[in-house]
Structure 1
Amino acid sequence: MNVDLKTYIESGKAVLGIEFGSTRIKAVLIGQNKEPIASGSYTWENQLVDHIWTYSLDSIWNGLQKCYLDLLDDVKKKYDCKIKKLGAIGFSAMMHGYMAFDEDGNLLVPFRTWRNTITQEASERLTELFDFHIPQRWSIAHLYQAMLNKEEHVGKIKSLLTLAGYINWKMTGKKVVGVGEASGMFPIDIKTCDYNEEMITKFEKKAQEKGYEVSLRSLLPKVACAGEMAGQLTKEGAAKLDVTGELEAGIPVAPAEGDAGTGMVATNSVRPRTGNVSAGTSVFGMVVLEKELSKVYDAIDLVTTPSGDLVAMVHCNNCTSDLNAWINIFKEFTKLFKMDISTDELYKKLYKNAMNGDADCGDLVAYNYFSGEHITGFEEGRPLFVRTPESKFTLANFMRTNLYASLSVLKTGFDILFKQEGVQIDKIYGHGGLFKTKGVGQNILAAALNTPVSVMETAGEGGAWGMALLASYLIDKKEHQSLADYLKDEVYKNNIGIEVLPEKKDVDGFNMYIDRYTKGLEIERAAVGVL
């Protein structure tokens, strides 16, 4: 038993971060050195209700409470104590989406998550109106699509929130979100760390033409930069979080952030010329920019860091799902022959063997499209593996091809930044399931982007740890200390990660593969039309 940490927790100095992911709610408690000292989690799933991907309010609160109870159990087992006070707390969730409330605080329609692709018309019209790319996932696209659809609830809306903003409101009584989260609701003016006033005016005028008198600032939550207060935990909030009734009110609450922002913090990539790639079921990459892009790109979303710096995001729907499906086929094979090989060992062996394949994958090509990909122009997808009679069809090339496929759409988006916009970057940090096997996903990403890639052990703690660090920054930062400097000086001073440099043969090989991949998109398009 660690007596020092027990005393630290009982004195109310530990800091807590909680994040609502797509499939898991996770809580991470951190100690004096910003290291995770306890954790809790709860597995949940979205539901498809009336063709809308959603989570019910009951599932949100049940999940939060179960996650916090799991954290309390971990604290009890490790330190034999309870949590009654905290130094600070922060809440995070998957970005974007639509939660509309009336004047009494009632949810008007079921929560519409980022996963819904039902706002294409609004996305296109707002992009044209603002001369700024508005993805379908963004809250403002959902609102405008509801207006275009003349949905009955629109006239009753008094506040519009994301999931993270909703939790912050119920915990503190204040409708406040961090600037990174806000940047996935409505475009941000990075000079003011607030919503873009000119675009607000344009939207309100357009809404008026549709018959809606809207004051957008009264609907949207207030914006706060990292290090600012988003409120304090109220008695009601404490009771909703901790059903044991032990947790005291009055705890400082950091601005609610999205998973993109917490991922940046958890990988030390909030400074210009840094970036990170999160690769799991889906994959997205983010680069902190030194200046604005020269024009609008449908493939590039513009958001911000939690401290308000401009970020280019390349978001892809598909990453490891097809890889996982192939691994499951190999798992069935081992069972058929009664081989005692664990799934983890299969991943490790097959991934490592892929590095023995040809740099260009031996003239093979794969498309991992379980769903559509807007960057390459697909609303639907069909997973495909394609070869010619002359292709070098080996196990190593087969696996390498599927690993390349998991990052091909991402590379397509990043090539816009690097080749068309001349964006400079010093380092990319990788995190997520693709990077678990050392020397594989990291090396392939370095080849795809022709950029050094680092992976840190702590990156596996994910967004809940990143949110805890933002809460810690709220109470621990020195005067005039930026978030980037705080992370460098207080969190990552002895943790720079393991860096891999791109190798020329692998960079050339991936470029040859991506040429074949791009030409073969017509095969994928034909499959969508036929199958």
Structure 2
Amino acid sequence: MSFEVNHAILNGKTTLGIELGSTRIKAVLIGEDQSPIASGSHVWENSYTNQIWTYSLEDIWKGLQDSYQKMAAEVKQRYGVPLQTIGAIGLSGMMHGYMVFNKDGEQLVPFRTWRNNITEQASKVLTELFHYPIPQRWSIAHLYQAVLNQEAHIAQIDFQTTLAGYVHWKLTGQKVLGVGEASGVFPIDLTTKTYNAKMIQQFNELIAVQNLPWKLEDVLPQVLVAGESACALTEEGAKLLDVSGELKPGIPLCPPEGDAGTGMVATNSVAQRTGNVSAGTSVFAMVVLEKELSQVYSEIDLVTTPTGNLVAMAHANNCSSDLNAWVGLFDEFAKVMGLDSDLNQLYSTLYNLALQGDPDCGGLLAYGYLSGEHITHFEEGRPLFLRSPGSKFNLANFIRVHLFTALGALKIGMDILLKQEAVKLEEILGHGGFFKTEGVGQSVMAAALNVPVSVMETAGEGGAWGIALLASYMINKEENETLENYLSRKVFSEKMGKTMSPQPKDVEGFEAFMKRYKHGLAIEKAAVEYFQ
């Protein structure tokens, strides 16, 4: 096996996926059997600067290079050979947000991430204009809000892109996006698999009064679908990625994708009636639709698979951040008490204890709103924990309510799809840190959605593995082979997952919790107003 891997590395039979997530940048190198053979990761965090959630360009490159170096070092350590060539590379990143550059390639304003809920006015205007849901996170909402705010930089815009599109541009010189990523920038025409031409024209007419020196179609990246070539690594790009200088240029890259698309691929959820849920810092569930929804819902995004098929997405900005903070507090307590505290064991212990709590969390209530929440209409958030004198306040219920509330906003969006629109979903596949403790996050998710939830053994590899698979598809697919067939044939034919069905008492408990959750949103609003 080691000889086969060595041969694959030396002869460029590998593919590399790199994903820039909210808290971690991960590089995963996969072999000819599509399984990971080496990986490296870099932990990072956004900063809240001048009331904007952002990451600096310096941090982007520092993290990208660090994750690559660690992966390449693992290759050399495990297999005794340097990583000099790769069959193909794929880049992925957190979707949406706002990155704009002038004609000299200089960034005009700091990167505004998906986490910013600062475009409510633009979101409403564009949703009404297009009769199509334009959430606050979307790149076009950020652009139009900057126009509405009459920000000084808007006349200098030459190029707008996403995080993945930016890195791809710097590595290849090409301004492109995969269609799944592009669908979170601007609405996609499902027939042409590119930006909706009618809506482009409507937008240009909307901003005509500003007399700006550009039209929208001139500043957006070109759209490509999965399987198409997105140019190759330049000499400058190779040095940017691998500071050691060992990596050779000329390696082909697949279209850069967003974390939604790579999540679909990593869970084999690109066919109709399939769905997946990614739960970590944020949480989003995606269902591949058989037909369009009956109406526009502000709570539901419409995006696409990496091949351009329609997907309904319920996206919540907040998931596990506040829960992680509470676990961190228990870890601090253990250390103060002089106890040996292993963080993984602490997570496992507390999460499993939550399964012993009351189905409805004993009357407790919490909101993990570290930032604003689009689905429930909050521009800012304030983490809260509440209880009444009659609540059953114990540790099991305390952890359980924070697991429940991590999915509260998501459930509001998914109820629209599963209850109001009667969307058919046979099962949903979960991935992300929320599912790391076996059986716990899976059980809570099944209760929230009232749908069987499966977690594959490979789900922990996440989006970096997903974008590596898209790179592999580009260079290894058979003629006219669909992505669905490729994944089923070459990737998931023997990979088994564990499925948990919803338990009636837990489903009832979650519904009871949601009544409190919705009723208590007025308290969250008051907290935002009070803690300014």
**Which TM-score band applies after superposition, normalised by the shorter structure?**
over 0.9
Matching residue of 2:154: 154
1:81 & 1:512 partners in 2: Cα distance?
A: 57
Aligned residues: 531
The aligned residue for residue 140 of structure 1 is: 140
Q: Which residue number corresponds to residue 313 of structure 2? A: 313
CA contact (8 A) 2:117 2:379 kept: no
Q: Displacement, 1:215?
A: 2.3
Q: Partners of 1:387 and 1:42 in 2: how far apart? A: 38
Structure 1 counterpart of 2:466, one-letter code: G
Q: What is the aligned partner in structure 1 of residue 278 from structure 2? A: 278
Query: What is the one-letter code of the residue matched to 2:236?
Result: E
Contact 1:284 1:314 in 2 (8 A): yes
CA distance in 1, matches of 2:177, 2:503: 42
Structure 1, residues 18-40: CA drift from partner, whole Å, max 9, x if none?
11122222111000110000112
Aligned to 1:390: 390
Measured in 2, the distance between the counterparts of 1:323 and 1:217 equals 42
* 2:22 and 2:281 in contact (8 A); partners too: no
Deviations 1:81-132 (A, max 9, x none): 0122211111111111222222232322232222223322212211111111
1:29-68 paired onto structure 2 within 5 Å? 29-68=29-68
Q: Specify the alignment match of 1:346 in structure 2.
A: 346
Tell me, yes or no, if structure 1 residue 168 matches structure 2 residue 168: yes
1:213 to 1:393, Cα distance in 2 relative to 1, 3 A: same
Residues 1:516 and 2:516 aligned together: yes
* Partner of residue 122, structure 1: 122
Query: Following TM superposition, by how much is the alpha carbon of 1:307 offset from its aligned partner in structure 2, in angstroms?
Result: 0.8
Residue 4 of structure 2 corresponds to 4
Cα distance in structure 2, aligned partners of 1:142 and 1:235 = 33
Residue by residue, what CA displacement relative to the aligned partner does 1:152-208 show, whole Å, maximum 9, x if unpaired?
A: 222222221112112222222221110011011111011111100110010010110
The one-character-per-residue Cα deviations of 1:429-464 (angstroms, maximum 9, x if unpaired) are 111121111121101110110101001121111111
Report the Cα offset of residue 526 of structure 1. Answer: 3.1
Distance 2:151 2:330 in 1: 48
* Structure 2 residue 491 is the aligned partner of structure 1 residue 491: yes
The AA in structure 2 aligned to 1:469 is: L
Q: Deviation digits for residues 3-25 of structure 1, max 9, x if unmatched?
A: 22111101111111111122222
Cα 1:18–1:273 change in 2 (3 A) is same
Preserved contact between residue 204 and residue 214 of structure 1 (Cα < 8 Å): no
The percentage of counterpart residues that share the same residue type is: 60
> 1:39 is paired with a residue of what secondary structure?
strand
Shift of 1:308: 0.7
Q: How does 1:125-524 map to 2 (within 5 A)?
A: 125-524=125-524
CA distance in 2, matches of 1:338, 1:58: 39
The 1:56/1:335 distance shift into structure 2, 3 A limit, reads closer
Shift of residue 213 of structure 1? 4.9
Say which is worse superposed, 255-264 or 384-393, in terms of deviation: 384-393
Separation (CA, whole Å) in 1 of partners of 2:187 and 2:383: 34
Secondary structure of residue in 2 paired with 1:100 = strand
**Deviation of the 1:62 alpha carbon:** 2.9
* Deviation of the 1:336 alpha carbon: 4.0
Alignment root-mean-square deviation, CA: 1.8
User: Which letter does structure 2 place at the counterpart of 1:142?
Assistant: H
**Contact 1:286–1:311 (8 Å) recurs in 2:** yes
Q: CA deviation at 1:148?
A: 1.5
Task: Give the TM-score of the pair, scaled to structure 1.
Answer: 0.96
The one-letter amino acid paired with 2:67 is: C
Equivalent position SS for 2:59: helix
Contact kept in structure 2, 1:363 and 1:387, CA below 8 Å: yes
- TM-score when scaled to structure 2? 0.96
Q: Would you say the 8 A contact 1:279–1:431 is kept in 2?
A: yes
Q: 1:491 to 1:221 in 2, by over 3 A?
A: same
Please list every run of 5 or more consecutive structure 1 residues that lacks an aligned counterpart in the other structure: none
Do the aligned partners of residues 123 and 457 (structure 1) sit closer, same or farther apart at CA in structure 2, a change above 3 Å counting?
Answer: same
Distance in 1 separating the partners of 2:328 and 2:55: 28
* Equivalent pair of 2:76/2:83 in contact (CA under 8 Å): no
Counterpart amino acid of residue 141 in structure 2: A
